[in-house]
Amino acid sequence: MAFKKLYQPYNKNGLTLKNRFLMAPMTRSRSSQPGDIPNELMAEYYGQRASAGIIISEATQVSLQGKGYAKTPGIYTQEQIEGWKLITDEVHKKGSKIFLQLWHVGRVSSSKVNGLQPIAPSKKAAKDTNVYIFNGAPNGDATFVPVEEPRAMTKADINQVIEEFKTGAKNAIKAGFDGVEIHGANGYLIDQFLRSNSNQRTDEYGGTKENRVRLLTEITQAVAQEIGNEKTGVRLSPFISFKDMNDPEILDTIMIATQKLEKIGVTYLHLCEADWDDAPKIPNDFRQNLRKIFSKTIIATGNKTPEQGEDLLKNELVDLIGFGRNFLTNPDYPIRVKLNAPLNKITDTHTLFGGGDARGYTDYPFLKQVND
């Protein structure tokens, strides 16, 4: 069979997955308002895509302060917990596993989104970076607005954020998730602390590379102690520099962070890799060094083809392959790959980030519907 490794079951540190396809986290902005509450439409969407061995949910804010984009879901109220139960029940019923991605955007926000001034490691706004709101634009489109200058976080702010991630993890387990993924990638709060250009602090959370990994380490320790290290994963993005995040020291910092995560014993490390056409290719020696340091599951996501994914699995550089856009448009993506069947394409870019109904969300056809 083609792609033999991709279709092999996998034991992820005690959690049995039916294959090595991972549905990557994708922001879709469909939560019910007010309250950023997950709903039945979202449950249908995730349930449709349960052919993946494991699903990582869309980024989910741990507090109102951590929210950066309109209509994204939260995990800090009882109503949100009850809403997420609809999703986890549906995914489990369809035979897959699901982790919740815990998110705080830090400086990538605007008071137009949440009514609050953003917070960040330092009082430095991200250049050329926007977030979105919905204000009645044509076709229901999102309206992009510039991020605002953040307030530099105090030690009390840092302690509050650590507590929010811990509470978010506890709430996720209450909602039926198999675990959580701490979002330390893509220019959001934890990534802002990791990078020297966005973190200009001179206290124990800034200055040296060892200090810049402190927030990630403390959040991860708090989450792992709350729900167990076997239910705690972390996402990092060493080769992505958008949202004004270019840092020449980031690869060394990521390796230090990986050593800390290995000691904590997190269940996986999820690499979010650049996914545009001329993106930098991750060198094999980086992957090999990471494998030497980190003993648990390694995930690679970033516009991979099945061929690329199979090759990484065969060479034992990673253990699971994340697919995003292809799961968005093809709820039965693993079946289509197995049969070498045609793939659905994105039909309407207006519905990628938001929408009030099934259009561009749950109406992408399954293969049997196409054949019919």
* 9 sits in which H/E element: none
> What is the pTM assigned to this prediction?
0.97
Q: How many CA atoms lie within 13 A of 348 on its CB side?
A: 15
Residue 280 clears pLDDT 70, i.e. is over it: no
Query: Closest by alpha carbon to 210, among 262, 259, 247, 268?
Result: 259
Domain ranges (residues) in the chain: 10-371
Please report the pLDDT score of residue 372 as a whole number: 44
Specify whether 7 is catalytic.
no
Q: Which of 10, 45, 132, 188 is catalytic?
A: 188
Q: What does each C-alpha distance from 201 to 49, 65, 105, 231, 251 come to in angstroms?
A: 42, 21, 18, 31, 20
Residue range 10-371, CATH number = 3.20.20.70
Nearest 5 degrees, angle CA 287-CA 245-CA 229?
A: 50
Locate the DSSP E strands across the chain: 10-12, 15-17, 21-23, 54-61, 97-103, 119-120, 130-133, 143-146, 151-152, 179-183, 232-236, 268-272, 297-301, 320-323
279 pLDDT band, cuts 50/70/90, is: low
Summarised one tens digit per residue, pLDDT across range 166-192 is 999 999 999 999 999 999 999 999 999
Peptide bond into 34 cis (omega under 30): yes
348 pLDDT band, cuts 50/70/90, is: confident
Q: How many other C-beta atoms are found inside a 10 Å radius of the C-beta of residue 59?
A: 26
Longest CA span, the chain:
64
Residue 340 clears pLDDT 60, i.e. is over it: yes
Count H helices, E strands: the chain? 13, 14
Cα torsion angle, 116, 192, 103, 327, sign: positive
Do strands 54-61 and 143-146 pair parallel, antiparallel, or not at all (unpaired)?
unpaired
